[in-house]
Amino acid sequence: MLQTVQNEIQKCLEQLSWESPQFVVERPRNNAFGHVSSNVAMMLAKQLKRRPLDIANDIKTELEGKVTGLEKIEVISPGFINFTFSPKYFQAFIPHIREEKDAFQKSHSGKGQSVQVEFVSANPTGPLTIGHGRQAVLGDAIARILEWHDYKVTREYYFNDAGRQMRMLGLSILARYNELLGKELDIPEGGYEGEYIIEIAADFLKEHGDLKTENDLEIFTEFASNAIFINIRDTLKRLGIVHDVYFNEKDLYKQGKIEEVLNKLAEKGYTYQENGATWFRATQFGAEKDRVLVKNTGEPTYRLPDIAYHCEKIKRGFDLIIDIFGADHHATYPDVKAALEAMDLDTSHIRVLLHQFVTLTQDGEKVKMSTRKANFVTLDELMDIAGTDVVRYFYIMRNMDSHLNFDLALAQKQTDENPVFYLQYAHARICNILLHSSEKGIESYEDANLSLLNEPEVIALLEMMLEFKDIMDLCKISLEPMHLTNYLYRLATAFHKFYSVHRVVSEDISLSKARLQLIDAVKIILANGLNILGIQAPERM
């Protein structure tokens, strides 16, 4: 509907030989102003040096009779043009929705284009926590949205299995292993604690026994890394997330990719030595200060392998690369992009998305978390408490730029207060009505007379159903799943409002058949949206 009006206005401006300005075509908040409104006349006023009202009336005259399904065009001060569509226009979409089902309004705008979405990429030093969960669901939902638009999507996990944090993990396992052998417990400063460390150490002892030799830290580190990787992979699978590629940081070292980056930057004069460390001239790319790439101990900072990893991403030829990071990366990703540009690599197709953190509340109190001290709620525990569907929905029901308070009490409610229950109940209720319509004497409703669907609540419901494509386009542009969660909630609300006013199956068989087709179409849109979000659309509750 919005796109139809947009296109017709563009044609009109061409007919009138007016240069098209940037103008808005939107749904007015007040239904009294029609279904679509545009400010195009006001945006043309300066260019044409005329009153917006006069320009609006000229456009109105030019458009009348040319927009399919349009009932009337109105001009109101100071120059808005309002478009009202006929009930017949909306009614005509019901058969299309029911025939096309999950392909209704499906976009193919990404056909032939490849996208890599990197997300989660948590260090393999412990179970996934509720903080990792937000990024996991965001990444998967964005991937699903892009797939709906026909992009070829690769979900990728960058496995940070090198560096200081891995040594700390190995030392922590070694300390617990020695404790199990009756030796003194000596957890390293900054080491990892918690039951999972003890369990991994016990598994190591069971598999390897008492080594009775000089302890090889690498053996402990690799064993722990593998065990935690399996745990992470299983947790994500439970959440409905399967990555296509797991890229190991270690491979960057083994294949000489780290040295390649250092050599290229040095050749171009973008690195220098100071106090035994290797520095990147980040200030030449807008940073406040230069950045250390290799410490004076010879150990690379985390920026260096990140740069090498992104070199590999670019080499793989994706049309679009999406990095999803926590807000704590806001100061580091510009350095990575700057280093890539310093090596003459194109970064225009890289989009970095930052999400804010998650706070879990229990009985109104914030639950404190520390991965090292193991004082945290794991993602598995959260799914045990709230269920997978609720966890997925809650993580993406707010803008990623907003801090997310995950309310455990609300998540566990099976009432209309819980938005997931509210949505799924709308779908289940429709399924129940359709299933039992035959008991009311209606064996088939394929011959329904859709012109009977004229009530305001019905038109509002139909109008909202037609927003689906606009919402999906917005999700693609913004890469914000939140637009879809909000839309589905509004659609469920419109259905519940319709249902509270109108009986679907009544003594009027003709009207009942029309309403059965209507709610069947609503069910399809709800199911399509929930499926894109990776949330179940249950037939009964």
The predicted-structure confidence for 72-125, as pLDDT tens digits, reads as follows: 999 999 999 999 999 999 999 999 999 999 999 999 999 999 999 999 998 888
pLDDT band at 215 (very low <50, low <70, confident <90, very high): low
- Buried-exposed string 22-51: b where 16+ CB fall within 10 A, e elsewhere: ebebebeeeeebbbbbbbbbbbbbeebeee
* Residue 372 in this model has a pLDDT that exceeds 50: no
Closest CA to 306 of 281, 333, 277, 288: 333
Kindly report the CA angle at 395 between 362 and 348, in degrees rounded to 5? 145
Q: What is the mean pLDDT of residues 274-290?
A: 94
Cα distance between residue 250 and residue 365, in whole Å = 40
- Buried-exposed string 157-173: b where 16+ CB fall within 10 A, e elsewhere: bbbbbbbebbbbbbbbb
Q: In percent, how much of the chain has pLDDT > 70?
A: 97
Edge-to-edge strand order for the sheet containing 70-76?
A: 25-26, 36-38, 80-85, 70-76
What are the structural domains, with CATH classification, of the chain? 2-85 (3.30.1360.70), 91-108+415-533 (1.10.730.10), 114-158+242-355 (3.40.50.620), 164-238 (no CATH)
Edge-to-edge strand order for the sheet containing 358-362?
A: 365-366, 358-362, 404-407
Residues with Cβ < 8 Å from 370, sequence gap 6 or more? Answer: 376
**156, β-bridge pairs:** 118, 245
Measured N-to-C along each axis, helices 379-386 and 130-148 cross at an angle, to the nearest 10 degrees, of: 80
Lowest mean pLDDT segment, chosen from 190-194, 469-473, 486-490, 536-540: 190-194
* Residue 374 in this model has a pLDDT that exceeds 90: no
Q: Residue 67: its pLDDT value, please? A: 84
* Residue 369 in this model has a pLDDT that exceeds 70: no
Closest CA to 518 of 88, 93, 190: 93
**How big is the chain by its Cα radius of gyration, in Å?**
29
